[in-house]
Amino acid sequence: MELTAEQEAILQGSRGERTAELMRILVSLGELNDARRLIPVWSVQLSGISFKTMGVPGTEFLEDAAKEVHVAVPTTINPAGYDVGGPGLVPVSEDFRGKQERIVRALLAMGALPTFSCTPYTTEYTPPAGAHLAWAESSAVIYSNSVLGAFSNREGAPSALASAVTGVTPEYGLHLPEGRRPSVVVQVAPQEDLHFSSLGAFLGKALGSKIPYLRGIRPEVDDMKAMGAAMSAWGSVPMFHVEGVTHEAAKQELDGLETMEVGPKDIASFEESLGRDGDTPRLIAIGCPHATPGELKHLARILREKRGGKLRSGIEFWVCTNRRVIADHADVVAQLQSAGVRVIQDTCMVVAPIGEKYPVIAVNSAKAAFYAAKRSFSGQKVLFGTTEELIDRWA
């Protein structure tokens, strides 16, 4: 790789051994992927900051790093394991709370921003089109590439932290035009009331890491958020193009690409496999990824139309979002709270340790369904449906 004089100096220890160690991670990653150089990044997103996913070794690593390094670019962070700055709506043990607070203190000591959200693009740190990023949260990566027209690979925890401290990332993969080209054209057949989260999960499972060019759909921004999040959870798709909708779709050459068709029966069959019947849920939770202002307004409208603005059952109902969205949209938050909805900040139903209290959970997100059912997360029984279906059946 071609390093600048400053980068070479950092590698040799000019900013301390810990920063040199982090620079070595980036150089090794770049050499492994035939990157020619390191490029500046506009921002970094750190994922996996819940103690539930990080554990003791990760916590101790962060605490050690915080004694020596500071971030060089805006660095946002994913949801924690409980509502750190909230009113304590998410039940966790004192032991878990204490361990999570150690992680938070270490991150803030390094200069990370207390966003606690998987949707940094709904905060004041929304990257502009064309910005190069080093984001680790998969749902944010696919959104930034596809919807915002920014450039980011799906970073791991070590490489994202390394980019936060050094301000650079290797130039390969999604940072290059050739890394953003589609490899399969997907024709989606017309379907009434298409659940884009279901479509995304089906495609993620079918495509693996292939970048699709989608035809036959006209998704709104929040539809693409839901679709992309599921695509990157059920597979490892880093980007998608939607004909006539996304930034780079018109630039793509499609001749000779693999083709695939998706019809209503495909989606319906997949949805059945996610779980629609069985026990009554102990918790209905939406906001995975964190709910946008548009999704909050959509939920408030449905509750007014279907329930007269008031939940009828005793089943707990969460909507997870971030503190910036809550602050900027206090009116709709108040409507939801008066309806009986718990508006949760800084965490979500996936990274909070809630499996024992809520062994059966109902979600509208195929991403949440993927993770909540895993034993390594909460091992819950998951019931799945659209927001409207969840309210009709249980709220």
- pLDDT (tens digit per residue) in 324-372: 999 999 999 999 999 999 999 999 999 999 999 999 999 999 999 999 9
Residue 78 · residue 66 · CB < 8 Å = no
C-alpha 368/C-alpha 146 separation (Å) is: 21
C-alpha 368/C-alpha 41 separation (Å) is: 29
Examine domains 5-177 and 275-394 and report if their fold is the same: yes
List 344's β-bridge partners, or say none: 320
CATH, domain range 5-177: 3.30.499
pLDDT tens per residue across span 201-251: 999 999 999 999 999 999 999 999 999 999 999 999 999 999 999 999 999
- What is the pLDDT at residue 22? 97
Domain boundaries of the chain, sorted by first residue: 5-177, 181-273, 275-394
pLDDT tens per residue across span 118-163: 999 999 999 999 999 999 999 999 999 999 999 999 999 999 999 9
- What is the pLDDT at residue 276? 65
- pTM for the complete prediction? 0.96
pLDDT tens per residue across span 41-84: 999 999 999 999 999 999 999 999 999 999 999 999 999 999 99
Q: What is the mean pLDDT of residues 175-184?
A: 98
List 186's β-bridge partners, or say none: 214, 260
Mean pLDDT of the chain: 96
Q: Is the domain defined by 275-394 classed in CATH 3.30.499.10?
A: yes
Q: Residue for token digits 């495909």? A: 266
